[in-house]
Amino acid sequence: MTPEEFRAAAHELVDWIADYRAAIPGRPVRSEVAPGWVRARLEGDPPEAAERLADLIEDLDDVVVPGITQTQSPGYYAWFPANASLESVLGDIAASGLGALGITWQSAPAVTEMEELVTDWLRELCGLSDSWVGSIHDTASTACLVSMLVARERATDLSEDRGGLQAEPAPLIVYASTQAHSSVPKAVLLAGFGRDNLRLIPVDPVTLAMDTDQLREEMAADAAAGRRPAAVIASMGTTGTTAFDPLERIVEIAAEHGAWVHVDAAMAGSALLLPECRPLFAGIEGADSFGWNPHKWMGTILDCSLLYVRDVELLVRVFSTNPSYLRSSSDGEVTQFKDWGIPLGRRFRAIKLWFHLRLAGAEAIRHRLRRDLAHAQWLAAQIEATVGWEVCAPVTLQTVCVRHVPDGVDDPEALDRHQQEWAERVNATGRAFITPALVEGRWIVRLSIGAEATQRPDVEALWALCQESALPDA
Amino acid sequence: MTPEEFRAAAHELVDWIADYRAAIPGRPVRSEVAPGWVRARLEGDPPEAAERLADLIEDLDDVVVPGITQTQSPGYYAWFPANASLESVLGDIAASGLGALGITWQSAPAVTEMEELVTDWLRELCGLSDSWVGSIHDTASTACLVSMLVARERATDLSEDRGGLQAEPAPLIVYASTQAHSSVPKAVLLAGFGRDNLRLIPVDPVTLAMDTDQLREEMAADAAAGRRPAAVIASMGTTGTTAFDPLERIVEIAAEHGAWVHVDAAMAGSALLLPECRPLFAGIEGADSFGWNPHKWMGTILDCSLLYVRDVELLVRVFSTNPSYLRSSSDGEVTQFKDWGIPLGRRFRAIKLWFHLRLAGAEAIRHRLRRDLAHAQWLAAQIEATVGWEVCAPVTLQTVCVRHVPDGVDDPEALDRHQQEWAERVNATGRAFITPALVEGRWIVRLSIGAEATQRPDVEALWALCQESALPDA
């Protein structure tokens, strides 16, 4: 395809994108296709001859769009905000057009140096000290695995350069709360620690944050038994209820054992952009690694996950592709991001953050985040004031966890079933998409506000829809 | 940003991209900026207020483009082909515009089902049996790590569900050739095996492929000593010289020990699209995992790395986020790709492959790959026929490894220095970019043909430039 053919095709495609984005509010939020529906419509032999763009665009309309849950819809309140702001989409388009190869600094100095710039910008905008150095990964799952690998190697004085984990005598132990995201146990298992060496610490029944007395006791018991506490993962804004583990206390306890502290703030990290939310993260300056995703609430299109560490030299020693005797943190004058994580090849991810921040401006982003916090407070107040409804976890940020208790129903299982049923009735309308969740043994419904398009009237409509759906025969 | 504002901005941006792509042949191939040059020009406080797209585009022209090595240039012969075909760029733009969230099947059925479709298409186009099941990862480094983690867990009967790698008594051993890519030892170390348990097997001095007699002896010696051979990584098309390890023999030897065989064909996997190249891969149907990157020679824009495995159930058991007692390979009817690798969140990578294959057609892609093979044969013939020049590794695919031996020079160190010097003189012209490499102790120069834009006159110009640069005073 020549640049001129591309020009014509790309104009057609961006018109399609603009039309698609404009039409999202009228579409069902949740994809309603059955398993296999998409594939059956795209099925066929591998294409031998060139096809026309128009045929692909027809498939986008007829198959792909119905096959996608509309996370950019004003009615999207499921899982977590997954904004793909159009400012960042432009940056992603620039990245695609440039087609740069990020393997070493030399292959694309701009890929490296813009990543250094934007991770520094975000650090400053989040009010973090300059002892933190950042890089971009695909997701928080990967950032957590990277952190666990560094923690493993620190605890073993770089066992990877000798006999590996098998040659280590005393078991290495990792701690996280029972409310930690599923990617946390996964990272611990992939790093080779083993499920027997993962301690899931109970949470406070009200705040759903880690019980640090339990943490202290378990770490002390492990150490007394000759096991080595290697790492603690603190969840800042759990997926279930946006609970914040007591980070300051965790850092103190971990320090007694020399354990690594990784802070997982995948969704809630965006709140650091707001000075008034920073007390939630008190203690962060004592942690060792910190990951959060601009690709969630803040709205830089997936995939854009930030990992900050303090000890870059150790990170590079663990992830370098050079033999240990050649390792240095910067190969002389330049940063080699290939030695900061798993992949060698690197897309130009920094440019979507750079576009997003420059085209939107930080002030507008903060304004939107504050709008979402206010929506959540407004909604929580409505719920609290309504008979038969309860807010069942602290509304720390933009997520409201709710239960509806119909008059006269008190069987726990019936109540659990009811939450799932009324949520499903909401979702079946196509006007909103919300997710029920099992939190510490009971079913609740999560209303995760924060889609970029969601305005106050949308939240009002959601609340009305929840009430209608909870009492369908009323 | 509203969809209408996006429409206007995106039209401006795609015009810029088309202009940029059209102007690439006139640009210096290698980025010539000094360390810190890019950052110094982009430096400034984090942007508080919205800026104009025109200002960003000015920075793209003045800073970003000079800060990128032009891997799409017809004069790009460095490292490996890193094509970002415009057909696949369109697909990447569609992915960005859609802004889909790939976490579970439900969040975007089309993300899952199109990935199943295109990985099946590529499997068929490569002539692989339907016992292989594919998924898309960011890079071959990640695919290799995923394979090593599965190999580790198979060798230990899922130690991650018990005491982890530390609780395993006999050391697990991994084998690869001395010519394996740097990401291979890295994956072995990250998976926790330890450098002492990685055996780098010598290569045949002529073919530079793994010496399988040595492999057999080392595996037997390890087994006899009570150590457990866990995995062998076979390199198909090494980075240095595109050497092919004898896969059929490796599979036989590994089978004697029940060791996992991972096939790393990151660059050369594209050759499987050509039936006449498939004998190079003989034995692949006996391997356990196989990774290759459409984002290299085939030309689907980075990042698009395919990993095929046979035993999906084992893969899912290792990577599932569910507790082991809940694990299934498909959660009932649907595929959950989150359980097939490291990240939970998934960009819509499949769509760039889908665009590339449909808009270009497989026949045109094969035609281009054959063109590149012919270029390499032509160039090798010129070199062989010229006094003072030698082709110093078999020209298996599109890479020609060359040395120039000036009349009267026979000091090995002087010859090594000379190769690096003449390559640098080529690169300094800006008309081509080639990379010298240290292969088994001596410096050679790699001419890696395969940029989509490279035509025969470009290769002729490269050869003339090499000759001028090797004898600058002639």
More confident residue, A474 or A452: A452
CA distance B126 to B124: 5
Distances (CA, A) of A60 to A358, B346, B370, B386: 30, 19, 32, 54
Half-sphere exposure (CA, 13 Å, Cβ side) for B302?
Answer: 26
Report, as an integer, the average pLDDT of B347-368.
Answer: 98
CA distance B74 to B433: 10
Show residues of chain A in contact with B367, CB under 8 Å.
none
Percent of chain A with pLDDT over 90: 95
CA distance B10 to A22: 15
Asked if the domains at B3-68 and B362-470 fall in one CATH topology, the answer is: no
- State the CB neighbour count (10 A cutoff) for residue B277: 18
Q: Measured between CB atoms, does B239 come within 8 Å of chain A?
A: no
What strands, in cross-sheet order, belong to the sheet with B399-404? B389-391, B399-404, B442-448, B435-439
User: CA Rg, chain A, in Å?
Assistant: 24
Nearest CA in chain A to B315: A190
pLDDT of amino acid A333: 82
SS3 B63: helix
A391 contacts A380 by C-beta, under 8 angstroms: yes
Q: Residues near A83 by Cβ (< 8 Å), separated by ≥ 6?
A: A71, A72, A295, A296, A297, A298, A299, A300, A301, A450, A451, A452, B99
Cβ within 8 Å, pair B190-A18: no
Q: Residues near A406 by Cβ (< 8 Å), separated by ≥ 6?
A: A388, A418, A470, A471
Q: Measured between CB atoms, does A74 come within 8 Å of chain B?
A: no
Q: Interface pTM (ipTM) of the complex?
A: 0.96
Show residues of chain A in contact with B92, CB under 8 Å.
92, 96
A330 pLDDT more than 50: no
Q: Residues near A230 by Cβ (< 8 Å), separated by ≥ 6?
A: A151, A152, A154, A155, A172, A173, A174, A193, A259, A260
pLDDT of amino acid A350: 98
Show residues of chain A in contact with B298, CB under 8 Å.
none
Nearest CA in chain A to B357: A47
Distances (CA, A) of A373 to A310, A378, B46: 31, 9, 23
CA distance A184 to B169: 26
Nearest CA among B396, B382, B373 for reference residue B449: B373
pLDDT of amino acid B375: 98
Q: How far is B212 from chain A (nearest CA, A)?
A: 25
CA distance B2 to A72: 12
B27, B32, B186: best to mutate for the A interface, most A CBs within 10 A: B186
Cβ within 8 Å, pair B166-A165: yes
Cβ within 8 Å, pair B358-A55: yes
pLDDT of amino acid A296: 98
pLDDT of amino acid A474: 61
User: What ranges do the domains of chain B cover?
Assistant: 3-68, 93-360, 362-470
Instruction: Read off the tokens for B286.
Output: 């006996």
pLDDT of amino acid A332: 65
CA distance B180 to A332: 25
pLDDT of amino acid A327: 41
Cβ within 8 Å, pair B197-A121: no
Mean pLDDT of chain B: 96
Q: Measured between CB atoms, does A351 come within 8 Å of chain B?
A: yes
Nearest CA among B266, B249, B241 for reference residue B440: B241
Confidence (pTM)? 0.97
pLDDT of amino acid A325: 43
Report, as an integer, the average pLDDT of B387-405.
Answer: 97
Residue type, B35: P
Regarding the domain delimited by B93-360, which CATH topology (the fold level of the hierarchy) does it fall under?
Aspartate Aminotransferase; domain 2 (3.40.640)
Which residues share a beta bridge with B442? Answer: B439
Phi, psi for B232 (deg, rounded to 5): -125, 135
Nearest to B20 among A4, A97, A185 (CB): A97
The correct answer on CATH 3.40.50.1240 for the domain covering A362-470 is: no
Nearest CA in chain B to A366: B48
Q: Measured between CB atoms, does A435 come within 8 Å of chain B?
A: no
What does the pLDDT look like over B241-257, one tens digit per residue?
999 999 999 999 999 99
Nearest to B358 among A31, A43, A47 (CB): A47
CATH classification number, B3-68, choose in 3.30.1660.40, 1.10.357.10, 1.20.1340.10, 3.10.129.10: 1.20.1340.10
Question: Strand locations in A248-359, DSSP E?
Answer: 260-264, 289-292, 305-309
Distances (CA, A) of B330 to B133, B315, B339: 13, 11, 9
What strands, in cross-sheet order, belong to the sheet with B172-177? B133-137, B305-309, B289-292, B260-264, B228-235, B172-177, B198-201
Q: How far is A408 from chain B (nearest CA, A)?
A: 34
pLDDT of amino acid B386: 97
Q: Measured between CB atoms, does A21 come within 8 Å of chain B?
A: yes
Nearest to A109 among B4, B67, B360 (CB): B67
Give me the residue label for tokens 């990967």.
Answer: A142
Give B328's pLDDT tier (boundaries 50, 70, 90): very low
Nearest CA in chain B to A197: B163
Start-to-end CA span in chain A (Å): 61
Show residues of chain B in contact with A172, CB under 8 Å.
166
Mean pLDDT of chain A: 96
Element (H, E) at B292: strand B289-292
Nearest to A109 among B33, B190, B334 (CB): B33
Q: Measured between CB atoms, does A165 come within 8 Å of chain B?
A: yes
A154 contacts A168 by C-beta, under 8 angstroms: no
CA distance A142 to A137: 7
Show residues of chain B in contact with A6, CB under 8 Å.
14, 17-18, 21, 86, 89-90
CA distance B173 to B193: 7
What does the pLDDT look like over A395-450, one tens digit per residue?
999 999 999 999 999 999 999 999 999 999 999 999 999 999 998 899 999 999 99
Percent of chain B with pLDDT over 70: 98
A324 pLDDT more than 80: no
Half-sphere exposure (CA, 13 Å, Cβ side) for A362?
Answer: 18
B466 contacts B426 by C-beta, under 8 angstroms: yes
What does the pLDDT look like over A184-216, one tens digit per residue?
999 999 999 999 999 999 999 999 999 999 999
Report the residue count for chain A.
474
CA distance B101 to A84: 9
pLDDT of amino acid A107: 94
pLDDT of amino acid A151: 98
Report, as an integer, the average pLDDT of A255-278.
Answer: 98
What does the pLDDT look like over B123-174, one tens digit per residue?
999 999 999 999 999 999 999 999 999 999 999 999 999 999 999 999 999 9
B354 contacts B117 by C-beta, under 8 angstroms: yes
Give B332's pLDDT tier (boundaries 50, 70, 90): low
SS3 B124: helix
Q: How far is B408 from chain A (nearest CA, A)?
A: 34
Instruction: Read off the tokens for B248.
Output: 């059929």
Q: How far is A444 from chain B (nearest CA, A)?
A: 20
Between CA A206 and CA A214, with CA A211 as vertex, the angle to 5 degrees is 145
A173, A186, A239, A424: best to mutate for the B interface, most B CBs within 10 A: A186
Cβ within 8 Å, pair B117-A42: yes
Nearest CA in chain B to A158: B194
pLDDT of amino acid B472: 76
Q: Measured between CB atoms, does B189 come within 8 Å of chain A?
A: yes
What does the pLDDT look like over A214-226, one tens digit per residue?
999 999 999 999 9
Element (H, E) at A446: strand A442-448
Nearest CA among B170, B229, B226, B227 for reference residue B201: B229
Distances (CA, A) of B36 to A98, A114, B58, B438: 20, 10, 19, 28
Interface of B with A in 288-317 (CB under 8 A): 295, 301-303
> Number of residue pairs across A and B with CB atoms under 8 Å?
466
Give me the residue label for tokens 């190697």.
Answer: A153
Show residues of chain B in contact with A15, CB under 8 Å.
7
Nearest CA in chain A to B434: A107
